[in-house]
């Protein structure tokens, strides 16, 4: 193992890490929106949309992410929808994480004690006022641990879009290895970067969980 | 004129008829205590008054708001139910305070959301109400930091903040440790003295003797008998009332 190889390849790897973070960040934001609305639609049982959301969650959770990526990148052009690799990656990752988030949002909303809704309604609030002011703030706290878990999985899953030529951390590692023939060093380096990245975000989300739970402390 | 009128109120769950046609008229400032064994329908009756349970049949009027049971859940009806709820405070056995809000925020929530009261005004109102229930020094505590008795008093203040015509209490002290019951009952007594119209479902007999203008004994979804607390507790006419009282006492 040669230290100069590490030093030489680090700038490229860090640049590719930016792509990984970008993919994860953009995807989690879109996934949060999708997951939130899919959860609400299913809880309020909005006609038609409820069925669509249920089917969406079932299909996404029931198929491998890699297959989803292939369908979007290689499959959709056949019906005239061509997306560049990065967009395809973002679409696949957001749709995938969105399905999992919708399940955790749904569970966390249902986990709020029914008395909270009753108390809100008995004051004369509308259902949506009660949801917005009383139920959702409490369910957010409940959702944070699973939310942070989904985000961690999402960061790791970005490595799968390397197969459609997005130059993120894993793809860059492979490119460097093709030149240096040092697979162990470079892949371990990539693993270390993933690990640091995930530890960083886990710490932040843990802090957020503690902050949002402060009202429960006696 | 009466402030609450209930005509032939029925409620069934499937084939199980929990309320079998209740008729009840309550005058302004009257304090009515409802007693009865568990499963007698007393809580259901109270919850129907606030449409937390949808009655199967009958008519409910509170103040000027009259709603027929079993109507279509359209926009207009939902609005009417909300209007009725704004005028009836409901106090739960399990308090149901909003745990993510402080005591004062709990009390401010109604005025701000329902009445559109300005933040500062709501704060002054909430502070006054918390002081009234003896918790003026607990404004910034979260529910988890308060005792059960204190939480229930905050819940009463929260209901009062909407300036209700009627207060409904569903076993307000049943979830409390014995030593905390008194402070909650005292708050309810003070409200009775001020002339608040109240319906209280409770098992606290000495409290009922103290505060009730009328005691109603329910069993199996019907009103078995009603009268002053003396009539019910000392000279009950019905066999079922006697039985119940002998077990409770």
Residue A217 and residue B94: Cβ atoms within 8 Å? Answer: no
Residue A216 and residue B99: Cβ atoms within 8 Å? Answer: yes
B115 interface with A at CB cutoff 8 Å: no
Residue A116 and residue B114: Cβ atoms within 8 Å? Answer: no
Residue B98 and residue A134: Cβ atoms within 8 Å? Answer: yes
User: For the sheet containing B65-68, what is the strand order?
Assistant: B16-27, B2-13, B57-62, B65-68
Residue B50 and residue A122: Cβ atoms within 8 Å? Answer: yes
* Cα of A217 to nearest chain B Cα, Å: 7
pLDDT on residue A107: 95
Instruction: Give the Cα separation of B154 and B158 in Å (integer).
Output: 6
Name the nearest CA neighbour of B201 among B6, B40, B3, B18.
Answer: B40
pLDDT on residue B54: 92
Residue A53 pLDDT level (bands cut at 50, 70, 90): very high
Residues in A closer than 8 angstroms to B94, CB to CB, are 115
Full-model pTM: 0.87
Residue B143 near residue B97, CB atoms below 8 Å: yes
Give the nearest partner residue to A116 out of B78, B82, B96, using CB atoms.
B96
Q: Which two structure tokens, joined as six digits, stand for A154?
A: 């999402």
Mean pLDDT of B179-189: 95
pLDDT on residue A126: 95
Mean pLDDT of B162-173: 96
* Cα of A146 to nearest chain B Cα, Å: 20
B142 interface with A at CB cutoff 8 Å: yes
Give me chain B's average pLDDT, please: 94
Q: Which two structure tokens, joined as six digits, stand for A215?
A: 């009202």
Instruction: Bin B26: left if φ > 0, else alpha if -120 < ψ < 50, else beta.
Output: beta
DSSP of B200-246, one letter per residue?
A: EE---HHHHHHH-SEEEEEETTEEEEEE-HHHHHHS--SHHHHHHHH
Instruction: Give the Cα separation of B108 and A69 in Å (integer).
Output: 50
B140 interface with A at CB cutoff 8 Å: no
**H helices present in chain B, as ranges:** 42-49, 75-86, 103-110, 119-132, 148-160, 178-193, 205-211, 229-234, 239-248
Residues in A closer than 8 angstroms to B144, CB to CB, are 215-218
Instruction: Give the Cα separation of A124 and A122 in Å (integer).
Output: 5
Q: Which range (B61-75, B94-108, B137-151) has the least confidence?
A: B61-75
* Cα of A213 to nearest chain B Cα, Å: 8
Does the pLDDT of residue A118 top 60, yes or no?
Answer: yes
Is residue B118 classed as helix, strand or coil in its secondary structure?
coil
Give me chain A's average pLDDT, please: 93
pLDDT on residue A27: 97
Residue A217 and residue B52: Cβ atoms within 8 Å? Answer: no
Residue A18 near residue A167, CB atoms below 8 Å: no
* Cα of A135 to nearest chain B Cα, Å: 9
* Cα of B149 to nearest chain A Cα, Å: 16
Angle between the N-to-C axes of helices B103-110 and B148-160, in degrees from 0 to 180, rounded to the nearest 10: 20
Q: How far is CA A37 from CA A98, A102, A139, B68, B184, in A?
A: 10, 8, 14, 35, 42
| B44-82 pLDDT per residue, tens | 999 999 999 999 999 999 999 999 987 777 889 999 999
Residue B82 and residue A126: Cβ atoms within 8 Å? Answer: yes
Residue A213 pLDDT level (bands cut at 50, 70, 90): confident
Q: Which range (A3-7, A103-107, B140-144, B168-172) has the least confidence?
A: A3-7
Does the pLDDT of residue A30 top 70, yes or no?
Answer: yes
Instruction: Give the Cα separation of A74 and B93 in Å (integer).
Output: 59
Residues in A closer than 8 angstroms to B113, CB to CB, are 123, 125, 129, 133
Q: Which residues contact B87 (CB under 8 A, 6 or more apart)?
A: B62, B63, B65, B162, B164, B165, B166
Residues in A closer than 8 angstroms to B142, CB to CB, are 215-216
Residue with tokens 């139920």: A135
Query: Could you report the predicted ipTM of this complex, rounded to two decimals?
Result: 0.93
Residue A124 and residue B85: Cβ atoms within 8 Å? Answer: yes
Residue A212 pLDDT level (bands cut at 50, 70, 90): confident
Residue with tokens 């002339």: B195
* Cα of A24 to nearest chain B Cα, Å: 30
B97 interface with A at CB cutoff 8 Å: yes
Instruction: Give the Cα separation of A143 and A67 in Å (integer).
Output: 28
Query: B240-248 long-range CB contacts below 8 Å, 24 or more apart?
Result: B241/B217, B244/B35, B244/B36, B244/B37, B244/B217, B244/B219, B248/B203, B248/B205
Give the nearest partner residue to B100 out of A113, A125, A137, using CB atoms.
A137
Residue A122 and residue B145: Cβ atoms within 8 Å? Answer: no
B214 interface with A at CB cutoff 8 Å: no
| B7-46 pLDDT per residue, tens | 999 999 988 999 999 999 999 999 999 999 988 999 999 9
Instruction: Give the Cα separation of A69 and B9 in Å (integer).
Output: 59
Residue A1 pLDDT level (bands cut at 50, 70, 90): low
Q: How far is CA B157 from CA A134, B63, B142, in A?
A: 18, 21, 15
Residue A217 pLDDT level (bands cut at 50, 70, 90): low
Mean pLDDT of A135-160: 93
Residue with tokens 């009417």: B80
Residue A116 and residue B110: Cβ atoms within 8 Å? Answer: no
pLDDT on residue A211: 85
Give the nearest partner residue to B100 out of A119, A122, A215, using CB atoms.
A215
Is residue A62 classed as helix, strand or coil in its secondary structure?
coil
Percent pLDDT > 90 in chain A is: 84
Residue B113 and residue A216: Cβ atoms within 8 Å? Answer: no
pLDDT on residue A2: 72
Nearest CA in chain A to B50: A122
Mean pLDDT of A68-97: 96
Residue B9 has phi, psi (to 5 degrees) of -80, 125
Residues in B closer than 8 angstroms to A44, CB to CB, are none
Residue B238 near residue B225, CB atoms below 8 Å: yes
């Amino acid at each position: 193992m040669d230290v100069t190889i590490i030093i030489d390849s680090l700038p490229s790897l860090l640049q590719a890490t930016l792509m990984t973070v970008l993919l994860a960040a953009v995807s989690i934001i879109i996934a949060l929106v999708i997951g939130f609305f899919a959860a609400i639609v299913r809880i309020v049982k909005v006609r038609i949309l409820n069925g669509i959301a249920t089917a969406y969650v079932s299909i996404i959770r029931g198929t491998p992410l890699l297959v989803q990526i292939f369908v979007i990148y290689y499959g959709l052009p056949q019906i005239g929808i061509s997306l560049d690799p990065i967009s395809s990656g973002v679409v696949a990752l957001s749709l995938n994480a969105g399905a999992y988030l919708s399940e955790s949002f749904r569970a966390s909303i249902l986990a709020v004690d029914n008395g909270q809704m009753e108390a809100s309604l008995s004051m004369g609030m509308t259902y949506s006022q009660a949801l917005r002011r009383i139920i959702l703030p409490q369910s957010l706290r409940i959702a944070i641990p699973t939310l942070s878990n989904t985000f961690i999985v999402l960061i790791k899953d970005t490595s799968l879009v390397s197969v459609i030529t997005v130059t993120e951390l894993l793809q860059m590692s492979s490119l460097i290895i093709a030149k240096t023939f040092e697979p162990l060093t470079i892949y371990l380096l990539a693993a270390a970067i993933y690990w640091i990245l995930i530890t960083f975000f886990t710490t932040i989300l843990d802090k957020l969980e503690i902050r949002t739970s402060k009202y429960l402390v006696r | 004129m009466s402030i609450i009128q209930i005509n032939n109120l029925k409620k069934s769950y499937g084939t199980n008829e929990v309320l079998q046609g209740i008729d009840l008229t309550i005058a302004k400032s009257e304090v009515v205590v409802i007693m009865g064994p568990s499963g007698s329908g007393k809580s259901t009756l109270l919850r129907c008054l606030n449409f937390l349970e949808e009655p199967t049949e009958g008519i409910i009027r509170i103040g000027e708001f009259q709603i027929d049971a079993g109507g279509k859940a359209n926009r207009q009806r939902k609005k009417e139910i909300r209007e009725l709820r704004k005028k009836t405070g409901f106090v739960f056995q399990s308090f149901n305070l909003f745990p993510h809000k402080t005591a004062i925020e709990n009390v401010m929530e109604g005025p701000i959301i329902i009445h559109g009261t300005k933040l500062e005004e709501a704060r002054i109102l909430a502070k006054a109400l918390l002081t009234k229930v003896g918790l003026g020094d607990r404004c910034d505590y979260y529910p988890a930091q308060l005792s059960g008795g204190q939480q229930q008093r905050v819940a009463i203040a929260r209901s009062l903040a909407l300036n209700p015509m009627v207060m409904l209490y569903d076993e307000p002290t049943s979830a409390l440790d014995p030593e905390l019951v008194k402070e909650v009952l005292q708050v309810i007594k003070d409200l009775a003295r001020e002339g608040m119209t109240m319906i209280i479902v409770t098992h606290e007999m000495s409290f009922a003797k103290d505060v009730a203008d009328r005691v109603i004994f329910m069993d199996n979804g019907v009103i078995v008998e009603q009268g002053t607390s003396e009539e019910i507790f000392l000279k009950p006419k019905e066999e079922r009332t006697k039985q119940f009282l002998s077990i409770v006492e």
